Amino acid sequence: MIAAPLLLSMGVTAAFVDAPTEPTGQVPIEWRAPPACPDVGRVRDHVARYLGAAELDARGAAARGTVRREGAGWRLELDVRSGEAWERRTLEDPDCALLSEAAGLVIALALDPIAVAATTGARTEEGSERAAAVAPERAAAPAAVVPAPPAVRAEPAVRVEASTRDRALREHRAPEPPRDRPAASSRPRGFVRVEALAGGGLMPGVGAGLGVATGAHGRAWRVELGAEYWPPRET
């Protein structure tokens, strides 16, 4: 008579232990990718990096990503929910690691676009300052200068021979070493855009507004999130 209640209690405890739970404060992300691509943990790292120190409110947010081979590269189909609506993004790139970083950026933009704009803007300024500091060190060395032969005062035949030798030295002078050119970055680059708006409608006159957009772009994709504000007009 005592064994049955005891077994029932153990079964209920086991059911609670096996139930999956999402990490506290993180967005539920379903990530399907081949073993050669980064896993869901790497995607979460990118989300945290783009949000910076902003407080995360993941209520009502979720993401689903699937990476597949597409020719010589990779194709990402990413569905992101913010609130009640789902939005799909399709990205392609030869590098699967860049697609995982782009997925983290899209998810971060859906959560807090202002925080993403702040972190990407700070990294852009830091990169520009670092490039300006390194540029003088990479300046090309001046080409080797071949000293001109000493002037010879002799017969005209000797002067003609010296002129021929000068021309030969100029023709065989070592070419100027090529300047170092910074390699084009394949990492996503962020941007912020502010623009003035003007429009008309049923009311007389022209209304003025303000538009703000933030996002990022890669070699073959672009993600942008914008908002417009139109102040009320009196009739």
Domain ranges of the chain: 25-132+187-229, 146-175
Q: Do 101 and 187 form a contact (C-beta atoms < 8 A)?
A: yes
Q: State the pLDDT at residue 103.
A: 94
Separation CA 46–CA 43 (nearest Å): 5
Q: State the pLDDT at residue 5.
A: 44
Contacts of residues 30-34 at CB distance under 8 Å and 24 or more positions apart, as own/partner, are 30/62, 30/63, 30/64, 30/65, 31/64, 31/65, 31/103, 32/65, 32/66, 32/67, 33/65, 33/66, 33/67, 33/96, 33/100, 34/67, 34/69, 34/96
pTM of the model: 0.49
DSSP secondary structure string, 90-107?
EEEES-HHHHHHHHHHHH
Q: Do 75 and 21 form a contact (C-beta atoms < 8 A)?
A: no
Residue 166 token pair: 């000068």
Q: Report mean pLDDT in 10-residue bins for the chain, 235 residues.
A: 40 34 68 95 92 73 94 94 87 94 91 85 58 50 53 46 53 58 62 67 60 70 69 61
Residue 208 token pair: 């003025």
DSSP code, position 152: -
Q: State the pLDDT at residue 158.
A: 41
